[in-house]
Amino acid sequence: MVFPVSREPRIQCDVVRGTGPALLVHGGAWDIPPEEREAHETGALAAARLGLGSLRGGASALDTVEAVVTLLEDDPALNAGTGSVLNRRGEAVLDASIMDGEDLRVGGVAAVRTIRNPVRVARRVIEATRQVLLAGPGAEEFAREQGFEALRPEELVVPREVERLRDHQARRRAAVPGDTVGAVAIDGAGRIAAAGSTGGTLNKRPGRVGDTPLPGAGLYADSRVGGVACTGWGEGIARLSMARAVLARMEGGQDPADAARELLAACWSRLGGTAGLLIVTPDARLVTAWSTPRMARGWAHGGMETPAAAA
Ligand code: GLY
């Protein structure tokens, strides 16, 4: 459950001092049920492996986070792309964004239903438009213009989520995914980028858009300061401008792990919710922090032989 939370949550934090290039990925922060944990960890590990290979091969941080989030969107275990949670009407409705910390270009799509990989269309928003965020039918029309295949919306829906929605609507089960997928990377040239993608919240109101496509809320990247990707309760993350707020604290000299803890503490004490976030710094420190019971995450850097993951 991400909101409301009745007891003060425990904030957990991992810090890895890496050597570049490096990346962090996540597969969502929530009370991941035991039967879903292995699939979440496997998905995060595969994404970290792909990302490290991409960075070691000389790809940019921006290309790498796009490729990593595409892989996570295609993983039906996770709440993004195929396998997303369903809204009140039983529809998978997706949000995604991507940001280049070199020149602060950012692109997003919101409330789309006929796109297999929204993060790839978000990248096209950066490359082919002067806009930041395209929503609904306009975003889908843009995707067609850019040559993306029109998906039948039901192709994104998996039986597990039909059952989860049915159980939730019948109030038979309490676990509510506050899930997203995301990645933050720094490449060999010191460029930082971030990306995220989500089906949003279970049983959401039609038209609801969360934090994931909102720059400053669900993600932010500035190669001079760091990159952040958030997951969890989107309304709380948006109200706190969580990603940019973390970076503002880091600009002021605060340690990234302390900044993350402060924002997660405020999310609970001021708003009553929980979240998780990834931070990558210009000196390749990898910080993961979460106030949810669990967070699926993977990490890798130039000094590691193989990537690692946990859920
Ligand atoms: N963090 C994903 C959402 O609330 O939409």
pLDDT digits (tens, 9 = 90+) for 233-258: 999 999 999 999 999 999 999 999 99
* Residue 180 appears among annotated catalytic residues: yes
Cα–Cα distance list, 53 to 44, 173, 306 (Å) = 14, 39, 10
Q: Decide: 211 in ligand 1 pocket, CB within 6 A.
A: yes
Give 178's pLDDT tier (boundaries 50, 70, 90). Answer: low
Residue 2 lies in a domain: no
Residue 121 lies in a domain: yes
Q: Decide: 210 in ligand 1 pocket, CB within 6 A.
A: yes
Which protein residue's CA is at the shortest distance from atom 4 of ligand 1?
234
**What order do you get walking across the sheet with 192-198 strand by strand?**
133-135, 105-112, 94-100, 192-198, 181-186, 22-30, 294-301, 308-310
d(CA 33, CA 176): 10
Residue 6 lies in a domain: no
Q: Quick one: pLDDT at residue 1? A: 42
Model pLDDT for residues 34-73, shown as the tens digit of each residue = 998 999 999 999 999 999 999 999 999 999 999 999 999 9
Mean pLDDT computed over every residue of the chain: 95
Q: Decide: 21 in ligand 1 pocket, CB within 6 A.
A: no
Q: Quick one: pLDDT at residue 61? A: 98
Residue 310 lies in a domain: no
How many Å lie between the centroid of ligand 1 and the Cα of residue 79? 10
Give the total number of structural domains in the chain: 1
**What CATH number is attached to the domain comprising 280?**
3.60.20.30
Range of the domain at 296: 12-304
| Mean local confidence (pLDDT), 210-226 | 98
Residue 7 lies in a domain: no
- The whole model's pTM is what? 0.95
How many Å lie between the centroid of ligand 1 and the Cα of residue 177? 9
How many Å lie between the centroid of ligand 1 and the Cα of residue 230? 9
Top mutation candidate among 202, 214, 233, 290 for ligand 1, by most atoms within 8 Å of CB: 233
Give 174's pLDDT tier (boundaries 50, 70, 90). Answer: very low
d(CA 179, CA 240): 18
Q: Is the dihedral of CA 153, 156, 160, 164 positive or negative?
A: negative
Give 286's pLDDT tier (boundaries 50, 70, 90). Answer: very high
